[in-house]
Structure 1
Amino acid sequence: MAESDRRTVAVIDGNSLMHRAFHAVSANMTAPNGDPTNAVFGFMSMFLKLVQDFRPWGIAVCFDKGRPAVRMEMLPQYKAQRPPMDEALSPQFPMVKDLLAALAVPVVELEGWEGDDLLGTLAREGAGQGFDMLLVTGDRDMYQLTNDHVKILSTRKGMSDVAVMTPEAVADLYGGITPDLVPDFYGLKGDSSDNIPGVPGIGPKKAQQLIERYGSLDGVIAHADEVKGKMGENLRAHIDDALLSRKVATILCDAPVELDLESTAFPAFDVPTAREAFARLGFTAVATRMLRLVDKDAAMEGAPGSVATALKLPEPMVGDAAREALAKAAEEGQWLGVAMDAVGDGSLFGSRALWVAVDAGLLRFDGDDADAVLVTCLEQHRVAAVDVKGLMHEVYPLDSAKAALLDITKVAPGSLFDVAVAAYLLDSAKSSYTPAELAEQFLELAAPEDANGSALAAYVSHWAQPALVKLMDQAGATGCFDTIEMPLVPCLAQMERTGMRADAAAFREQATEVKAIVKDLGDRIYAEAGERFNIGSPSQLSHVLFDVLGLPTGGLKKTKRGFYSTNAKVLEDLARDSQVVADVIDYREKDKILKTYLENLPKVIRSDGRIHTTFNQTVTATGRLSSSDPNLQNIPVRSELGRRVRSAFTVPEGWTFLSVDYSQIELRLLAHLSGDEHLIRAFNEGEDFHAETAARVFGVPVSEVSPLMRARAKAVNFGIVYGQGAYGLSQTIKTSTREAQEMIDRYFEAYPGVRRYLDQVVADARELGYVETMFGRRRLVPDINAKNAQARAAAERTAMNHPEQGSAADIIKIAMARVQQELENRHARSELIMQIHDELDLQVPLDELDEVTELVVSTMQGVVSLRVPLVADPSHGKTWAEAK
């Protein structure tokens, strides 16, 4: 058979994908009858993406069945450490098998055999029969099966992050370990997830080095006497364990599987049967996409609303017809769905097409007309868009050296409708709000894959707008949208265009200094280790610290990749007794600042000498703004090096940075929302709040509160706001979990109103499925009633902290828009340039400093009336660093 004639059969590791799906999709998803379906939904979503992205000729799915008897005969403790399957996942396996049956996808399972061995058997048989086999799994031990006709589709985050593993890719990944040596590799390093022992003290890096040196596990064993130190002792003492581990890790390819691969052809299912199966589970959108694989027309049949309709974009009107249709729509007060299609480099006056969706159809304006019509729409009409602020920047460019065609002061917030922001207010936990997703969710339309992206965005914006208005009204989100989010859009557009003045020479000078420090630290670490390695690699660092240097591993857990963790907490604990670990921490911090900021920030200074970040309204679940391209909110403020980075952000001569920061806003909101009389009194009397808490928690007069008591009380205060439990607090204040719990208990005894309030918030969330801020910003907590204790506890923490965090986010947003409006009203030259958490930053002429400081402070403090004072503290300086 010619290579070009070979057909591809995908064989899916059903258990692997089901477990990944279960943990990736909200546990609150249920079928119409109330049965949990999150794993089935996630599995089918990944199944569909496999079909769409890789288009296999055939598909089969393998599942484990019963205890893994074949391997347990070799190794009785095999997988014995694994906890029982979650009770919400177990009943979903029959559901997914029923759905696969309705899709005519063969399911393969054999009593006592694992899915891995079934995949291995089918891979060998399929390749021998002239098929190319694609094995879909998250298990890395399957890499041993790769060859010219067997590839592994390695799932990392479902099907959104996959790697196609060939023999060459496997060798690259493991530093020369070819597929046939993968069992030898596991024989040495073991696999903690499956309870395969390997050789103690030999992790992935050392296993790779040993095999590279001696050729195989057998070669390593033959030369075991040459391996020095503790590792050599372990190797010689555990030769039998290594050989057994290799045997257990070897995928069996001789399972008694009876499957005719010709029967795996996909899609070959009956549409009515499949439609009924999907309908029983309530999977409308997935059903639509799946059924369209067979028959696009048949997929649209059935009960109204049972599946989404395929979206078909109308042919666009151009020229006079487009202008007339636009004028009519604007006169009628229609919301215009608008999107810009920039061709080439996307520059302000490049080749461009503006798409506008109206009731009469789809309009397209080209060239100079595109910019002119967009300006008219924004200044005079009602505009709906997937990214209104991004649309503004098409005619109001970020680089302030480029002329603006748009007068931003003429843009009325009430005439803006950002459909992505509206969708975000309805569910802030989603990771994206693309036009295709919005079409599917709010219009029940499946977007065609070949649609023009901008045309689709305009169409969806126009037609989804009324649906979103209705849903926001039902969810109580209209006020938040109209009074907080949309008024913020022009404000943010101005801040982004203004940008922050940056000194490229200062960045370069700092980079040179820090690079030298990083090199010196690296050399010291290499000298201590006796070898050069990648300090930024967790696995290589783990090998050096624990295998080479022999640092203690008591209480440490191995990662899924088989090496001890080197996260910040582990390193911080080890650094108390190890200078090399202290150097590693210092190296990591400085290297991160060097690469993230000092080397990168000069590259993004635009022709106006400024850095222009983008503020995002639809990223954080709490409602806070985030910053990207570049992220200027995360520059460390407490470290000396972080402050130096900030010192490179300057203002013109005769100007100053003004920074105004809300003081303890979340704690003040907790006092207000809980109504606790003791908490309210502490703030109203103007005392040192943390010292007052310490006095109440430790039972001493305020005058006797020590700095350590105050620090611990401060940690408790903020921990309560963030829903922190005893373990988290114990890690923060370096004490036992028991002592931390005692402090939390004493806190609630001191402030009983807080305990009652938080309990009530959680109880309400259990009933409603969401929590709200003071301003109606709703956050869904779908796992609040989950059977899984970990998921439920996380949802409870979210419920407890969202009213404070989300309200703080609302307040700073309201303040921003009001400050901007006041500056415009007074024709001030001062400009807002940055927002970070509870802080607003401005660049201010010195002759306006007093007036603008009073304006900003009074505006921020006047956003809302609380039971306690809302305090905003100003400071200023010549650089961003000096202003704080």
Structure 2
Amino acid sequence: MPIQDNSRKTVAVVDGNSLMHRAFHAVPPTMNAPDGRPTNAVFGFLNMFLKMVDEFRPDAIAVAFDKGRPRVRMEMLPQYKAQRPPMDPDLHAQFPMIKQLLTTLNIPILESEGWEGDDILGTLARAGEEAGCDMYLVTGDRDMYQLVTEHINVVSTRKGLSDVAIMTPESVDDLYHGITPALVPDFYGLKGDSSDNIPGVPGIGPKKASALIAQYGSLDEVIAHADEVKGKMGENLRAHIDDALLSRKVATIRTDAPVAYDFENEAFPAFDAQAVNDALGELGIMAMQNRFLALIDGGEGPASAAFEMSKPVMVTGSDRGTLADAADELSRALEAGEWVAAVLDDDREEGALFGMTHILWVATGRCLFGFEQQLGGAVEDIPGFDFSRGLVAGVLSRLLREGRVVSSDIKGLIHELSPVDSSEAEQLDPLTLDSARLFDTVVAAYLLDSSRDAFDDAYLADRYLQVSLAPARGEEGAADDAPARAARTAALALAIREPLENALEREGATRVFSEIEMPLVPVLASMERTGMLVDPERLHALSEGLEGQIDELACKIRSLAGDDTFNISSPMQLSHILFDVMGLPTKGLKKTQRGYYSTNAKKLEELARDHEIVRLILKYREMTKIKSTYLDTLGPLRQGDGRVHTTYNQTITATGRLSSSNPNLQNIPTRSELGRTVKTAFSAGEGSVFLAVDYSQIELRLLAHLSGDEHLVRAFNEGEDFHAETASRVFGVPVDQVTPQLRSRAKAVNFGIVYGQQAYGLSQTLDIPMSEAREMIDRYYEAYPGVRVFLDRVVEQAKQTGYAETMFGRRRHTPELKMKNPIQRGFGERTAMNHPMQGSAADIIKIAMIRVARRLEAEGFAARMILQVHDELDFECPEAEVERLTLMVREEMENVVELRVPLIAEASTGITWADAK
């Protein structure tokens, strides 16, 4: 059992080097101080430090660091730790920072020239035990287990920053199968330690070492009975007795390091709160201030200082008294201008139409209410609230119209009053909402770390409040009176709004949040409600026609394979047919975990050049995907208004682009005739047409603006055929002699450069040798030298700051630039190069959407914006408005921002979506 003697003073001694190394590799290198210094190791160290304090409540703390070369052990073993690579410069730079913070925290730092932190921990452990203290040694080094006694425990950090083991004499014995703490040096004497260059005995690993010591009792006894050990192990043991004894000596922790510690008078916490706040602020680690403040305020821990959740109060229309009290509290909060959190709780399963409950959870600074919608029975209105359309609608309507609302899903709240199915009555027009009074916590968290996949409650609480959430109702380990998950989400949203707002300010993301992302939320809600008309009969006819083609193609593929039964859609069976039966080349192909060669699209495309069956298989895959993903799916997704309603996602892509789901209307193939066929099922309705307005070469134009390259800028300003101009400059031929093939190659280079493509990528795109691709890229940079300078500068800045940035301040963190793997670093470089263009393009189209939506509303257009596909906006437009709408949309799109080159938006119309593009 861990130490539990409350009568003895508890002292924690932290191995500073061990924790800094673990923190550096556990926390992504995306954190930087305002002056650009990396801080991920400092953040990770402090996070683990606070968790240690929270769990063990030490009365005093010391932190030990290595200092200089480990002279003490190098005198015994010159090659000790000689194989270790130099410390990463970004980690090295953070040691002075953590030491300064520890000094500000009034925590003694112990170090001595030539001595390792291990020996300082050992010295304090024995001295503290003799002084009557219970000692906790916080370290990741297993050789420290030799110090464990009844009053000395090792807190062994294992995985990341949170997985720890408390090592007692019993747990050490259990771990090493009979090796007590006193025998740990003997154990290392036999097995050695490759990480420290301690030799041990060749061929004897942990299992054999523990077995030998268990059999004979100690290393000395093992050596005394070396002649009894048979085989190769016995030979090695007898030949390396001196190595074993030396290894034991080197692995023995010293307890005589020249350091001193006042066990009687040292105490923790004993720091000045303002000084710590200032120090954390200087490093940009503001989120931990409350946790340190809680230590000296006598709170029960960080949770008590940062996140207190009121007891939920359920409100129904039948309880007039409770409803009146809740209405009074909401009115008070609204009139006071306070932020109010709102979260909908609907227990229906995904795909189901109805759930058993429908509750709106609302959190104010004082109370947490659950407004439960009940079937039947009118709710009597209360002053300030209109409950004629139900309790939830009445509360939410007033909140959105008058209040400052924070939520984890603002768009979901809007759809409660403006349903996605436009055949249902709308109680609130999304475009009338003031986005300055809306705060979506997930959108904010996404802007702060756009590479993250999910932003659930646990992550948000840990990242911005540094607390672990208690389980909600229905979650494992939840208490009987645990709150509903949505109730907890509402309380959390209110608690994290200010920390998120502060983080947005520190990260320079406030403008993107307040001027782009939040104003876009009502626009997306309006577009989702509008939806797109789709003809189910047309879809059915297309599906039936394609089914016949698929059957014919399948017969042909099976005939070529000589097998009438194999499943073409099964990767395993297909691999067997292609590579085992037909003997297609497998050079360069890797096998999957299940042991067969991969048949992914990239591999098949390489083989398709020489093998007809592979070409047919790729065609078969395209057809079956179009049929199953669109032709057979879009019809059933139509709602009561006869339209399909996609969902726009703001927090999915790392670039800032919107994505589309359920159904994904952005990914219908545009270059194939088959994809175009799907679009013929979408129409604009009687008397209306599709209007598509698309930015022309926006990323290339942004590259010209951002790089300032004179040749690039001139080409766009003079309205030349840009790809032909590039071909002329790269291939050294007059513009009027540029062939379609040369223009196509130049186009590939132009867009490849924007996406950070290197020679290998270009060679794959154009199917040319690497040397030729490299020469083309070199010629491009010779033709446009400003581009090379700009891209190099972007990468260098990203290495220094940890992120690349758009014109509007949208950041994309690039931790890959600091990774040792060259493939990951290459990805980081391409990401950094591309983000200023692709991310700025995403910002520009979003701003255009906001402005266009406002003008549609303000100028009384009947036309409606129905779709966004990357750089394109699509409209459902009455024929009489086409000219006026085209002028308005182009005006807004082309004037979002002033560049060195013109932004061009090209418009086209058609009866169907396919006709318009």
Global fold match (TM > 0.5) = yes
Equivalent pair of 1:322/1:364 in contact (CA under 8 Å): no
Equivalent pair of 1:656/1:845 in contact (CA under 8 Å): yes
Q: What is residue 446 of structure 1 aligned with on the other side?
A: 468
Question: 1:360 Cα shift?
Answer: 1.2
**Residue 768 of structure 2 corresponds to residue 764 of structure 1:** no
Counterpart of 1:341, as a letter, is D
Select which of 356, 359, 364 maps to 2:362: 356
CA distance in 2, matches of 1:582, 1:706: 28
CA distance in 2, matches of 1:659, 1:23: 48
Q: What is residue 448 of structure 2 aligned with on the other side?
A: 426
Counterpart of 1:665, as a letter, is I
Q: After superposition, what is the alpha-carbon deviation per residue over 1:308-330, rounded to whole angstroms, capped at 9, x for unaligned? A: 52755311344222111111110
CA distance in 1, matches of 2:600, 2:193: 37
Q: How does 1:102-501 map to 2 (within 5 A)?
A: 102-104=165-167, 308-309=302-303, 313-317=309-313, 318-344=322-348, 351-367=357-373, 368-450=390-472, 451-501=483-533
In structure 1, stretches of 5+ residues that fail to align are 1-20, 45-83, 122-274, 276-281, 283-299
Counterpart of 1:446, as a letter, is S
**Residue 702 of structure 2 corresponds to residue 696 of structure 1:** no
Q: Identify if the C-alpha distance between structure 1 residues 530 and 752 changes in structure 2 by more than 3 Å, giving closer, same or farther.
A: same
Counterpart of 2:360, as a letter, is L
Counterpart of 1:352, as a letter, is H
Question: 1:877 Cα shift?
Answer: 0.4
Question: 1:112 Cα shift?
Answer: 11
CA distance in 2, matches of 1:35, 1:688: 47
Equivalent pair of 1:375/1:395 in contact (CA under 8 Å): yes
In structure 2, stretches of 5+ residues that fail to align are 1-22, 49-83, 92-138, 143-155, 159-163, 177-186, 195-203, 208-268, 270-279, 281-293, 314-321, 374-389, 473-482
**Residue 697 of structure 2 corresponds to residue 664 of structure 1:** yes
Once structures 1 and 2 are overlaid, which stretch shifts more, 443-452 or 749-758? Answer: 443-452
Equivalent pair of 1:672/1:866 in contact (CA under 8 Å): yes
CA distance in 1, matches of 2:435, 2:356: 28
| 3-state SS of 1:774 partner | coil
Counterpart of 1:429, as a letter, is S
Q: Identify if the C-alpha distance between structure 1 residues 548 and 308 changes in structure 2 by more than 3 Å, giving closer, same or farther.
A: farther
CA distance in 2, matches of 1:591, 1:85: 53
| 3-state SS of 1:631 partner | coil
Counterpart of 2:906, as a letter, is D
Question: 1:513 Cα shift?
Answer: 1.4
Equivalent pair of 1:538/1:566 in contact (CA under 8 Å): yes
Question: Which one has the largest radius of gyration?
Answer: 2
CA distance in 1, matches of 2:141, 2:625: 45
Q: Identify if the C-alpha distance between structure 1 residues 96 and 757 changes in structure 2 by more than 3 Å, giving closer, same or farther.
A: farther
CA distance in 1, matches of 2:568, 2:774: 37
| 3-state SS of 2:369 partner | strand
Question: 1:742 Cα shift?
Answer: 0.8
CA distance in 2, matches of 1:481, 1:28: 20
Question: 1:627 Cα shift?
Answer: 0.4
Counterpart of 1:338, as a letter, is A
Question: 1:27 Cα shift?
Answer: 6.1
Once structures 1 and 2 are overlaid, which stretch shifts more, 503-512 or 310-319? Answer: 310-319
Q: Identify if the C-alpha distance between structure 1 residues 744 and 879 changes in structure 2 by more than 3 Å, giving closer, same or farther.
A: same
Equivalent pair of 1:379/1:407 in contact (CA under 8 Å): no
Counterpart of 1:371, as a letter, is A
CA distance in 1, matches of 2:891, 2:849: 12
**Residue 611 of structure 2 corresponds to residue 578 of structure 1:** yes
Question: 1:427 Cα shift?
Answer: 1.0
Using the size of structure 2 for normalisation, the TM-score is: 0.66
CA distance in 1, matches of 2:656, 2:755: 15
CA distance in 2, matches of 1:481, 1:430: 17
Q: What is residue 161 of structure 2 aligned with on the other side?
A: none
Question: 1:455 Cα shift?
Answer: 1.0
**Residue 900 of structure 2 corresponds to residue 867 of structure 1:** yes
| 3-state SS of 1:630 partner | coil
Counterpart of 2:653, as a letter, is T
Q: After superposition, what is the alpha-carbon deviation per residue over 1:456-489, rounded to whole angstroms, capped at 9, x for unaligned? A: 2211221211111111111111111111111111
Select which of 568, 572, 587 maps to 2:620: 587
Counterpart of 1:472, as a letter, is L
CA distance in 2, matches of 1:605, 1:396: 17
CA distance in 2, matches of 1:504, 1:427: 41
CA distance in 1, matches of 2:443, 2:353: 26
Using the size of structure 1 for normalisation, the TM-score is: 0.68
Equivalent pair of 2:756/2:831 in contact (CA under 8 Å): yes
**Residue 721 of structure 2 corresponds to residue 709 of structure 1:** no
Counterpart of 2:574, as a letter, is L
Q: What is residue 179 of structure 2 aligned with on the other side?
A: none
Q: How does 1:606-621 map to 2 (within 5 A)?
A: 606-621=639-654
Q: After superposition, what is the alpha-carbon deviation per residue over 1:728-779, rounded to whole angstroms, capped at 9, x for unaligned? A: 0100011011111111111001000001111111111111111111111111
Q: What is residue 792 of structure 1 aligned with on the other side?
A: 825
Q: What is residue 157 of structure 2 aligned with on the other side?
A: 99
| 3-state SS of 1:103 partner | strand
CA distance in 2, matches of 1:515, 1:598: 10
| 3-state SS of 2:694 partner | strand
Q: What is residue 744 of structure 1 aligned with on the other side?
A: 777
**Residue 816 of structure 2 corresponds to residue 783 of structure 1:** yes
CA distance in 2, matches of 1:34, 1:382: 36
Q: What is residue 48 of structure 1 aligned with on the other side?
A: none
| Aligned residues between the structures | 661
CA distance in 2, matches of 1:526, 1:305: 72
| 3-state SS of 2:361 partner | strand
Once structures 1 and 2 are overlaid, which stretch shifts more, 96-105 or 508-517? Answer: 96-105
CA distance in 1, matches of 2:800, 2:27: 21
| 3-state SS of 1:866 partner | coil
Q: After superposition, what is the alpha-carbon deviation per residue over 1:158-188, rounded to whole angstroms, capped at 9, x for unaligned? A: xxxxxxxxxxxxxxxxxxxxxxxxxxxxxxx
Counterpart of 1:103, as a letter, is I
Question: 1:548 Cα shift?
Answer: 0.3
CA distance in 1, matches of 2:405, 2:323: 20
CA distance in 2, matches of 1:877, 1:26: 49
Q: After superposition, what is the alpha-carbon deviation per residue over 1:812-851, rounded to whole angstroms, capped at 9, x for unaligned? A: 0000011111011111110000000100000000011110
Q: After superposition, what is the alpha-carbon deviation per residue over 1:59-92, rounded to whole angstroms, capped at 9, x for unaligned? A: xxxxxxxxxxxxxxxxxxxxxxxxx99998xx9x
Name the % identity: 50
Q: What is residue 537 of structure 1 aligned with on the other side?
A: 570
Once structures 1 and 2 are overlaid, which stretch shifts more, 414-423 or 787-796? Answer: 787-796
CA distance in 1, matches of 2:408, 2:39: 35
Counterpart of 1:99, as a letter, is T
Counterpart of 1:309, as a letter, is A
| 3-state SS of 1:724 partner | coil
CA distance in 2, matches of 1:788, 1:87: 16
CA distance in 2, matches of 1:24, 1:580: 47
CA distance in 2, matches of 1:35, 1:830: 51
**Residue 585 of structure 2 corresponds to residue 552 of structure 1:** yes
Counterpart of 2:885, as a letter, is V
Equivalent pair of 1:832/1:842 in contact (CA under 8 Å): yes
CA distance in 2, matches of 1:307, 1:520: 69
Counterpart of 1:393, as a letter, is H
| 3-state SS of 1:618 partner | coil
Equivalent pair of 2:348/2:354 in contact (CA under 8 Å): no
| 3-state SS of 2:340 partner | strand
Q: After superposition, what is the alpha-carbon deviation per residue over 1:410-433, rounded to whole angstroms, capped at 9, x for unaligned? A: 311111111111111111111111
C-alpha RMSD of matched pairs (Å): 4.2
CA distance in 2, matches of 1:476, 1:649: 41
Equivalent pair of 1:308/1:440 in contact (CA under 8 Å): no
Counterpart of 1:522, as a letter, is A
Equivalent pair of 1:556/1:565 in contact (CA under 8 Å): yes
Question: 1:590 Cα shift?
Answer: 0.6
CA distance in 2, matches of 1:86, 1:640: 57
